């Protein structure tokens, strides 16, 4: 049976949910996982996941700050064969470094894996999907949340290896800033409100959601024209054309001019109290409810997810 080397990613002191997904992906094609925990973080959590054969904790000073070069040098000493990492920014960087070090290919951001090994990854921002066969060693990064997570239930041994590397990046200054609200044309998630929001003040509820998922806030023309919302927030034919991964329309009827600006969004969630509102015609997910009921529920579901 084939093993995968998995590089764990943590979220504070715990494993990041994507680590469970990496292990789940390996199990889904009948493989065991050897999980590498940088600096030994969350090693016992990793050892208790089903499908994990062994945990290797790589302990060294270099893990104090992120330097992909140092991390990959230290981790490389214990990597073997096929390597799975999360396609997070750090995961991609470590993955690319490991692949170059080992002179093996790297496939980033796959969304499916099957025996063979056959993987799929979206290309051209999702306008096409590519299928690749991997016949030897490779580094593969997995898109977060695209794979079934492995369950707890295991007791793998933990080996600890002391291995550090030179850090070449030094931090001069940490700048804590509330992340600025993104512009609708840049954001990956947009939450837009329409006349159904009742008043411009009620947009603060949409802002709350935007804070949780790092979204931009948009508006229908009605809101811009009648309530004085800035024009740069207007989505539609005479506003911005947007193509986020997720567009959330709240209290927007879905007039053709509004649809012109957002119908190419990858996913659309509509919240509207009128079951016949045309916005439901383009929505992937529709919730027939007033925003007063739906938004607080959305807020708590999202914060739970993000915590």
Partner 1 sequence: MAYEALDFYDVDSLLSEEERMVRDMVRDWVDEEVIPNIENACREGLFPDEWRVALGEMGVLGAPLKGYGCPGLSYAAYGVICRELERGDSGLRSFASVQGSLAMYPIWDFGSEEQKNHYLPKMASGEWIGCFGLTEPDYGSNPGDMITKAEDKGDHYLINGAKMWITNGTIAEVAVVWAKLDGVIRGFIIEKNDPGFSAPEMKGKHSLKASVTSELVFQDCKIPKDRMLPGVKGLRGPFSCLNNARFGISWGALGSAQACFDSAKEYAMSRIQFNHPIASYQLVQNKLAWMLREITKGQLLAYHLAQKKDAGTWIPEHISLAKMNNVDIALEIARVARDIHGANGILDEYPIMRHMANLESVKTYEGTHDIHNLIIGRHITGIQAFTREA
Partner 2 sequence: MNIAVLLKQVPDTTAKIIISGGKVDENSVSKWSMSPYDEYALESGLQMKEKNGGALIAITCGPDRSKKMLTDAAAVGADTLVHISDEGVSDSTHVQQLLAAAIMKYEADVVLCGKQAADTNAGSTGPGVAEILEATCVTLVSEVNYTDGKYITMRPSNTGSEKVSTQGTSVFAFDKGTVELRRPNVRGIMMAKKKNIESITSSDLDVNLNNSNINLDSQMPPPEKAAGQKFEGAEHVSTVVSKLRNEANVI
Ligand X SMILES: Cc1cc2nc3c(=O)[nH]c(=O)nc-3n(C[C@H](O)[C@H](O)[C@H](O)COP(=O)(O)OP(=O)(O)OC[C@H]3O[C@@H](n4cnc5c(N)ncnc54)[C@H](O)[C@@H]3O)c2cc1C
The contact set with ligand X (CB under 6 A) reads 194-196, 220-223, 234-239, 251-253, 255, 257-258, 261, 272-274, 277, 290-292
Q: Which is nearer to partner 2, 99 or 262 (CB)?
A: 99
Q: At what angle do helices 291-306 and 203-213 cross, to 10 degrees?
A: 20
In whole angstroms, the minimum distance from the beta carbon of 263 to partner 1 comes to: 10
Residue 30 in the binding site for partner 2 (CB under 8 A): no
Q: Which is nearer to partner 2, 8 or 294 (CB)?
A: 294
Contact 234, 219 (CB under 8 A): yes
Residue 293 in the binding site for partner 2 (CB under 8 A): yes
Which candidate, 130, 132, 128, 102, places its Cα nearest to that of 117?
Answer: 132
Task: Restricting to residues 150-169, name those near partner 2 by CB under 8 A.
Answer: 168-169
Task: Restricting to residues 213-252, name those near partner 1 by CB under 8 A.
Answer: 237-238, 241
Contact 278, 257 (CB under 8 A): no
Task: Restricting to residues 197-256, name those near partner 2 by CB under 8 A.
Answer: 213, 245-246
Of 123, 256, 297, 301, the residue at the interface with partner 1 (CB under 8 A) is: 256
Q: Which two tokens stand for residue 124?
A: 């051209």
Q: Which is nearer to partner 1, 111 or 260 (CB)?
A: 260
User: Residue written as tokens 């499908």?
Assistant: 51
Task: Restricting to residues 174-193, name those near partner 2 by CB under 8 A.
Answer: 174-179, 186, 188-189
In whole angstroms, the minimum distance from the beta carbon of 46 to partner 2 comes to: 21
Q: How far apart are CA 79 and CA 85, in angstroms?
A: 12
Please provide residue 84's backbone torsions phi and psi, each rounded to the nearest 5 degrees.
-115, 135
Q: At what angle do helices 68-76 and 89-102 cross, to 10 degrees?
A: 50
Q: How far apart are CA 264 and CA 131, in angstroms?
A: 24
Contact 216, 210 (CB under 8 A): yes
Residue 83 CA from chain centroid, whole number: 20
- Whole-angstrom CA distances from 274 to 222, 263, 279, 280 are 17, 19, 10, 9
Q: Is the peptide bond before 172 cis (omega within 30 degrees of 0)?
A: no
Q: Binding pattern to partner 1, positions 258-277, x when CB under 8 A?
A: --x-----------------
Of 130, 151, 207, 225, the residue at the interface with partner 2 (CB under 8 A) is: 130
Q: How far apart are CA 249 and CA 289, in angstroms?
A: 12
Total residues in contact with partner 2, by rule CB under 8 A? 85
Q: Which is nearer to partner 1, 3 or 241 (CB)?
A: 241
Q: Binding pattern to partner 2, positions 69-108, x when CB under 8 A?
A: x--x----------------x--xxxxxx-xxx-xxxxxx
Of 2, 152, 155, 301, the residue at the interface with partner 2 (CB under 8 A) is: 301
Q: Which is nearer to partner 1, 114 or 238 (CB)?
A: 238
Give me the residues that bind partner 1 (CB under 8 A), please. 237-238, 241, 256, 260
């Amino acid at each position: 049976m084939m093993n995968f080397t998995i590089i764990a990613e943590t979220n504070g002191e715990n494993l990041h949910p994507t680590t469970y997904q990496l292990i789940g992906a390996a199990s889904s094609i009948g493989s065991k996982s050897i999980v590498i925990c940088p600096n030994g973080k969350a090693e016992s959590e990793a050892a208790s996941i089903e499908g994990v054969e062994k945990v290797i904790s790589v302990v060294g000073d270099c893990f104090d700050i992120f330097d992909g070069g140092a991390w990959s040098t230290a981790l490389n000493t214990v990597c073997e064969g096929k390597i799975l990492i999360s396609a997070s920014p750090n995961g991609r960087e470590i993955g690319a470094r490991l692949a170059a070090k080992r002179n093996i290919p790297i496939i980033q951001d796959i969304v499916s894996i099957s025996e063979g090994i056959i993987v799929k990854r979206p290309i051209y921002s999702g306008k096409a999907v590519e299928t690749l066969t991997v016949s030897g060693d490779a580094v593969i990064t997995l898109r977060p949340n695209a794979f079934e997570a492995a369950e707890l239930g295991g007791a793998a041994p933990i080996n600890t290896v002391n291995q550090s590397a030179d850090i070449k990046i030094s931090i001069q200054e940490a700048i804590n800033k509330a992340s600025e609200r993104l512009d609708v044309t840049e954001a990956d998630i947009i939450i837009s409100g329409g006349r159904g929001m009742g008043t411009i003040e009620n947009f603060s509820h949409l802002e709350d959601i935007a804070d949780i998922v790092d979204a931009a806030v948009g508006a229908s023309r009605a809101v811009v024209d009648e309530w004085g919302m800035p024009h740069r927030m207007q989505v539609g034919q005479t506003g911005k054309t947007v193509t986020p991964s997720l567009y959330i329309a709240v209290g927007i009827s879905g007039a053709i001019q509004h649809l012109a600006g957002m119908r190419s969004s990858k996913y659309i969630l509509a919240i509207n109290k009128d079951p016949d509102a045309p916005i439901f015609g383009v929505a992937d997910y529709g919730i027939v409810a007033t925003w007063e009921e739906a938004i607080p529920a959305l807020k708590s579901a999202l914060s739970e997810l993000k915590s």
